[in-house]
Amino acid sequence: MASSYEAPAEVRELEKRLNDFSYRKGYNIDQVFDDFLRYIIWAFSLDGKPIDNWKYKKEENLFFFELLQEWIMVMDKQIVLHEWYDAFGDLYMSCIASAGRQSGRAQFFTPPGICDLMVAISDNGEKKSTDICSDPTCGSGRNLLAFHVKHLGNYLCAEDIDKTCCMMTVCNFICHGAVGEVIWHNSLDPDSWFYGWKVNEGLNNPLSEYYGIPHVRNIEKEESYVWKNWQGMKAEYQKKAGNPSFRTGPNNSPEKEPAGSTQFIRLINNKNIKAMATNNLKTSVLKANEELAIRCWIDFKALNEKEDWKSNGVEFRKKDLTENKDGIPLKKGSFEILYTRLVDGVRKGRAVFRFLKKTAEMKFNGMKDSQQYLINQ
């Protein structure tokens, strides 16, 4: 099917090279386009790790390097002329949106003039460098780029359910000197998380070793402003709605329960775990959902900075684990959360929620052995 979008003259050489390479090598142009984005992100990454599942040969790598050079030259020229420029958005619409993806999810992005117009009509005249600008359906990042060039120094938050769009936005942030984060997830389900990038976080900081150097690194959700802000909003809503963030104490007075996920509150307050309070420091090891526990730990940690935990009758502590009791190393990310009930200021019962990421040395024979291993640790 012929494209309904014609690439502007500025990116036609890039378009030609992408099409020629894909045709000669028998590759799907969708994949080549995505891999070019991955190549750029890798080139500006801080960890120096090889690109995952990179299938191209040495001579084919030269193509990506030359394409990177061409892209930089195009951007260098167009940013001077237009303040900001989205080469990848144009390439996507001319090469990709009309091809394999058109039948399912064709995307045609907001014209640059409309992006500039929206920024202009929403401008109240204040010049700040501490604001946060967010776009939950960022596409190739055009609206955020238009905002960025008029409000330098602000933090940009981009979200999209399409990974290609997220990678285009990362690349655009890199070359425009935009500071912020790009989150690949479903913004209609803010608890979801597929992947995240932090872009140029030290670019404008004279104390950073990356001062003046465009860079990017991948992040987990606990580092994301978008994700943490949503968790805070959700906790506030639960509090106002009368969810289990509060319970009734003596004389029907409101008595705070530890904050966190409603599911986790139910877990730690069920009768089996509460019964442990009658045993002096008898420890029970429980297996729980890792994602849920991490999410709750963030909430508990935030509350811990504001509240006197002991007055609430509980203590929560998180401890990272590097090896098990036999000295076998654990993968990064293993941890345990200690939940201790206090009665009259005295520790009475303790539950340990432990999450171990096994290494090759740990071999489990089915779920039963895995659970027993967790308990025995």
> How many Cα atoms are found within 13 Å in the side-chain-facing hemisphere of 296?
27
pLDDT of residue 123: 82
Cβ-proximal residues to 238 (8 Å cutoff; 6+ apart), any chain = 244, 245, 262
Handedness of CA 210, 216, 219, 221 (dihedral sign): positive
End-to-end Cα spacing for the chain: 60
What is the C-alpha separation between 347 and 277, in angstroms, rounded?
Answer: 8
Strand 155-160 vs strand 346-355: parallel, antiparallel, or unpaired?
unpaired
CA angle centred on 145, ends 140 and 151, rounded to 5° = 160
Residue in the structure block whose two tokens are 């117009």 = 117
> Do residues 319 and 308 lie in contact, with contact meaning Cβ atoms separated by under 8 Å?
no
> Do residues 124 and 189 lie in contact, with contact meaning Cβ atoms separated by under 8 Å?
no
What size, in residues, is the chain? 377
Q: Kindly give the confidence (pLDDT) of every residue in the chain, 377 residues in length, as a single tens digit, with 9 standing for 90 and above.
A: 344 678 889 999 999 999 999 999 999 999 999 999 999 999 999 887 899 899 999 999 999 999 999 999 999 999 999 999 999 999 999 888 765 544 455 678 999 999 999 999 988 777 766 689 999 999 999 999 999 999 998 999 999 999 999 999 999 999 999 999 999 999 999 899 999 999 999 999 999 999 999 999 999 999 999 999 999 998 888 887 765 443 334 444 434 433 334 444 444 444 444 444 444 444 444 444 555 556 556 655 655 555 454 445 566 677 777 877 777 787 776 777 676 666 666 666 555 666 666 554 444 333 333 333 333 33
What is the C-alpha separation between 284 and 303, in angstroms, rounded?
Answer: 25
What is the C-alpha separation between 51 and 49, in angstroms, rounded?
Answer: 7
> Three-state DSSP class for 14?
helix
Residue in the structure block whose two tokens are 């399912």 = 104
